[in-house]
Structures are given as structure tokens and as C-alpha cells.
Amino acid sequence: MREEHRSASVRKILIIAVILNLMIFSSVYADMDISSVERLFLEGQYDKAERAAQSLIDQRSRQRYELYYLKGLSELKLNKLKEARESFGTIISKYPASNRIFDAHLGIGDSYMLEGNRQEAAKIYNDIAVRFPKDKNIALVKERLAAEAIPGNADLKPNAIPRSESKGYISVQVGSFKNRRNAESLSKKLTGRGYGSYVELPMGSGDKLYRVKVGRLNSKEEADTIAAKLRRDGYNTKICDASE
């Protein structure tokens, strides 16, 4: 009888401990919003970003598709590849009209690439090329296909950078931002003025900037010409090679 009483007391203590931990967890993330999660991600605090995103999702915050996207990116960085696919898959299944559909498909492809499943990654990347041929970030897919020497879709090959040249192209950077929306806004403005603009996402753990670039060029002379035109239009420019 005394043993049963002791077991019941232990269970009560464990339950109280769980409740207290949940209360602490909720209070830590109670004042967070999407920008806070994005800041954690850009600071390289991927585990905190993942937990904060999930907390806001559980609170039924607005723009949950954006939270699932940040959660998926964090899981990629943490090498939680299956979980990342689930987060990106939720965007595709539940928020098909959101502006993260392209990114969600790309994230799934990247998860397979990081897993070493190049065949499945190629299938996803080529599917993206067919579904979203005019997306402003389609160049990211071309880069992945070229850099890994993955056979691409026939419609994609003429514009892809060959593996031997993938490290040698030159681009003109027009701006860099910590906030993705600001980068996309500038890229959209440049595209509207006839420039082939795109946004490069932060890739390294210490990289916090979304870079707005124009062109993937084979010579510095071409880059100089475009940079001069951009400067005449009032933009600051920086000529970059593929490593920048």
C-alpha cells in the first residue's frame, strides 16, 4: 500500500514538472512573431527558430505557411531532413495558393540532395522546372542541376550553367538585405525595368543576407556593361564571381 502511495506521488511530481516545463516553454515564445523566428534563423540559432515556429503554429498565428517554411529551413540546417519534408509538404497540401509553393518544392528537393538521394532530388528539381518555368527564382533550380551535374529537363538545359563553368560565372549585385521581403521587392522592381534579376538566399550558417543580383555572365566586360547601365538608372552595383 505504501509502495502504491509512493508511485502515485512520483507520478504527480512528474506531471507537475511537465506542466511547469510547458508553461516555461510557452512564456519564452509568447511575445514572438514571424520576424523574431526569421531573426533566430538568420543568427544561426536553428533549434530555437524551429521551436519558436512550431510554438506560433500551435498558437494558430497568421501566415502559418511562412512559419512552416522557416521551420522547414531550420530543420534542413539541423539535418532533420524527414521533418523538413513534412514541414514543406504541409505548405504544399494546406496552402497551395501561398507565395511559398515554389520554395516548399525546392526545400523538398534540397532535403533529398542533402540526404544523398540525387535521383529523387533530380526528379523534384525537374518537376519544379516544368511547374514554375517563369518563377523569379527558377535560376536556383538551374544552379542545383548544374552544380551537381544532375541531368536536367530538356527545356532547362540550354540555359543551365555547365558543370565546368558553374564556378566561373559573374553577376552584378544590386543590393543585400537581412529581410527577404525587401530583397524580393527590389528584385521585382528590377525585373519590371527589364533586368534579369533574382534573389540569392543565405546558404552558409554565418550568412545572413539575401542578395539581389542581375545576370549570370561569362565575362567581366558583360558585367561592366550591365553595371554601368544599372548605375545610370540610379542603382549601386558590385560585380561578383560565383563565390560571392
pLDDT for res 152: 41
Question: Cβ of 103: how many Cβ atoms within 10 Å?
Answer: 22
pLDDT for res 154: 35
In whole angstroms, give the CA distance from residue 214 to residue 126. 23
Question: Cβ of 112: how many Cβ atoms within 10 Å?
Answer: 19
Rg (CA), the chain: 22
Fold agreement between 7-90 and 168-244: no
- Beta pairing, strands 197-200 & 210-217: antiparallel
Binned at pLDDT 50, 70 and 90, residue 25 comes out as very low
CATH superfamily of 168-244: Sporulation related repeat (3.30.70.1070)
Class of domain 7-90: mainly alpha
pTM above 0.95, yes or no: no
Residue, of 150 and 96, whose pLDDT is higher: 96
- The ranges assigned to domains in the chain are 7-90, 168-244
What is the average pLDDT score of the chain?
76
Mean pLDDT of 120-147: 82
The phi, psi pair for 172, rounded to 5°, reads -110, 115
Cα–Cα–Cα angle for 141, 213, 226, rounded to 5 degrees: 120
